[in-house]
Amino acid sequence: MAFNEEQIKDWLKPIIDRDLNKSIVETNGIREIKINVDHVSLKVALAKTGTPEQMEIQQEIVQTLKGKGIESVGLRFEELAEEEIQTLGGIPQPGSGSSLLDENNKTTFIAVTSGKGGVGKSTVSVNLAVSLARLGKKVGIIDADIYGFSVPDMMGIEERPQVVNERIIPVDRFGVKVISMGFFVEGNAPVIWRGPMLGKMLNQFFTEVEWGELDYLILDLPPGTGDVALDIHTMLPHSKEIIVSTPHATAAFVAARAGAMAIKTHHEILGVVENMSYFESKLTGEKEYVFGQGGGDRLVEELKTDLLGRIPLGQPDIREDVFAPSVYDEGHQIGDIYMEIAKKVIEKTQ
């Protein structure tokens, strides 16, 4: 099996330096990688060495790399320089983690919502988050669609968050920090909690997760105007919103309710994304408007906002090296559209 340094670093991203609450890749802790056929030698720098946590990290690295087909792994450890540790924010004291709900938090919250299910709201959320990260922004995403969580599967995430110093460390994928109800449910079991329990879980996503510094936090809300959406509106009085609809008149009519809810709770609507706008033939280039036309325009007019973009029907290219069934590459036609939407979002929020 052939592999390179970048792949090895990508595989090691989920492994956390316990004392810094950051990935050993993010801390620049992978000092040296030597590859000799099926043997890999690594020099790894940690905030502290000679600790039980170092032994845990050692085991995780070996298990991760052997799980990818590498036959043998050699490891040497050293300590990060004090200057490096301070640049990374220093070693947090237990219980000192900040909350996204703190008044002085500078993160821009963007709730992605829709009036009904099946309009591609989660696909828009995921690709917006990845596009913002590609543009150099620090981005997180909360899969707040508690009953219909799908973000981990869409992004090809197989690992689970770790808990360090009683703080949850989100999973990092494509430069986006991810938290989802799907991480805390066994298999594909249904969530049958009532409203208060769901509200408590959402609050934990904001207060007990070690997000670090974020420019944007994308919230993939459940469709409609139910309890979870109301809880989010209450928790985040200064959130901004993107409404997702298809071109179909009924979908746009229902989406207007979600927009009306945003207006009533004094959330700023950044704009509308019209998803599944058309199908473009690869053979002829002809566009077919499978779900009709005009829904997005009517929604924009009713909500007095802007159309951020029209997304055609399509699917990402399937790549063997990076499994992410719903994430578009930058060079893909639809990936380019999402990048333009992300640029508009940045312009509107700066």
Query: Partners of 72 in the beta sheet?
Result: 39
pLDDT at 75: 93
% of the chain at pLDDT higher than 90: 28
Q: What is the pLDDT of residues 123-167, one digit of tens each?
A: 999 999 999 999 999 999 998 877 778 898 899 888 888 887 778
pLDDT at 218: 94
Q: Are 206 and 128 in contact (CB under 8 A)?
A: no
Q: What domains does the chain contain, in order, with CATH numbers?
A: 5-87 (3.30.300.130), 108-349 (3.40.50.300)
pLDDT over threshold 60, residue 64: yes
**DSSP string for 160-224:** --EEETTEEEPEEETTEEEEEGGGGSSTTPPP---HHHHHHHHHHHHHSB---S-SEEEEEPPSS
pLDDT over threshold 60, residue 93: no
**Amino acid residing at 8:** I
The dihedral built from the CA positions of residue 123, 236, 195 and 116, taken in this order, carries a sign that is: negative
Q: What's the rounded mean pLDDT across residues 85-90?
A: 85
Q: Are 75 and 64 in contact (CB under 8 A)?
A: no
Q: What is the pLDDT of residues 18-63, one digit of tens each?
A: 888 788 999 999 999 999 888 999 999 999 888 888 888 998 899 8
Please, is 149 exposed, middle or buried when counting C-beta atoms within 10 Å of its C-beta (0-12, 13-18, 19+)?
buried
pLDDT at 178: 94
For tokens 């909690």, name the residue.
193
pLDDT at 231: 66
Q: What's the rounded mean pLDDT across residues 69-88?
A: 90
pLDDT at 228: 61
Q: What's the rounded mean pLDDT across residues 82-91?
A: 86
Closest Cα partner for 113 from 90, 145, 89, 83? 145
In sequence order, which ranges of 97-166 are alpha helices (DSSP H)? 121-134, 151-155
Query: What gap in Å lies between CA 149 and CA 228, rounded to an integer?
Result: 13
Query: Partners of 126 in the beta sheet?
Result: none
Of the pLDDT bands very low, low, confident and very high (cuts 50, 70, 90), residue 310 is very high
Closest Cα partner for 18 from 99, 92, 97? 92
pLDDT at 130: 95
Q: Which residues contact 208 (CB under 8 A, 6 or more apart)?
A: 97, 166, 167, 168
pLDDT over threshold 80, residue 251: no
Q: Collapsing DSSP states into helix, strand and coil, what is residue 345?
A: helix
% of the chain at pLDDT higher than 70: 83
